[in-house]
Amino acid sequence: MATNWAAPQRPNTYAEQTLINAILNGTYPPGATLPGERALAAELGVTRPTLREALQRLARDGWLTVRQGKATAVNNFWRDGGLNVLSALVQHGDHLPPNFVEHLLAVRLQLAPAYTKAAVVHQPEVAAAQLAPYEQLADAPGAFAAFDWQLHRCLTIASGNPIYTLILNGFADFYETLAQRYFANPTARVRSRAFYADLATAVAHRDAAQAETLSRTAMQDSLTLWRETEERGGG
């Protein structure tokens, strides 16, 4: 019988992930400088060319500033990072600040109404098809989390602006995990099903303005409900 072996991590990927973890756990905090190339390569157990490749990738994404003839500086990634930093952060959940999810939901509150409206303007039939199964949605956190992710992703694509999709994809690995926590609350499932129903009606009538309003209300409601749920959990 064949054995399913996990694919080994490439040395440059290993070096990159190890350095990101070291930045996030405070080993090399923002403002610090990294050890020299020879010492750092030995510390990581990789060759110097492999290390250089990892450093260049991290510099490209905003984690580091590589300076010829000078020590490599660790950036303030919250200020200097890009979408790839967001993607990396959600894969290192242990190092996320306590208000990260709330900030994420606040961003969605600003973006979702715009891409929902645009989707109804540009491709209402696509949005309608994506919404159609909401009535048969199982009353379970996992089912709602998967449906909600696919809906928002579909709306960003149908909006005609690919930047919305890139932003959403930046936290793809985190979205359903977060959503399952949110949809564990029965109230969240009831309110979201009502939102899907109202949005389906607005899409059927090609009412982009109403779809925008519904999305804004639902996103604000989800942010408020998340805060209430976390406060109760913390108490």
Place of tokens 């157990």: 45
The hierarchical CATH code for the domain 97-234 is: 1.20.120.530
Backbone angles phi, psi at 226, to 5 degrees: -60, -45
> What is the value of pTM for the model shown?
0.79
The pLDDT tens digits of the residues spanning 106-155 come to 999 999 999 999 999 999 999 999 999 999 999 999 999 999 999 999 99
Q: Is the pLDDT of residue 2 over 50?
A: no
- Quick one: pLDDT at residue 56? 95
Res. 194: pLDDT tops 50: yes
What is the model's pLDDT at position 115?
98
Distance (Å, whole) CA 200 – CA 134? 9
For the segment 69-107, what is each residue's pLDDT rounded down to a tens digit?
A: 899 999 999 999 987 888 788 777 777 787 888 888 899
Which residues are CB-contacts of 183 (< 8 A; sequence separation ≥ 6)? 141, 142, 144, 145, 148, 189, 192
The answer, yes or no, to whether residue 48 has pLDDT greater than 70, is yes
Measured CA to CA, the distance from residue 154 to residue 174 in angstroms comes to 17
In this structure, which topology does domain 11-85 adopt according to CATH?
Arc Repressor Mutant, subunit A (1.10.10)
**Tens digit of pLDDT for each residue in 195-215?**
999 999 999 999 999 999 999
Average pLDDT over residues 49-69: 94
122: Cβ–Cβ under 8 A, 6 or more apart, which residues? 158, 159, 160
Question: 137: Cβ–Cβ under 8 A, 6 or more apart, which residues?
Answer: 143, 144, 147, 193, 196
Structural domain spans, the chain: 11-85, 97-234
CA distance 39 to 67: 17
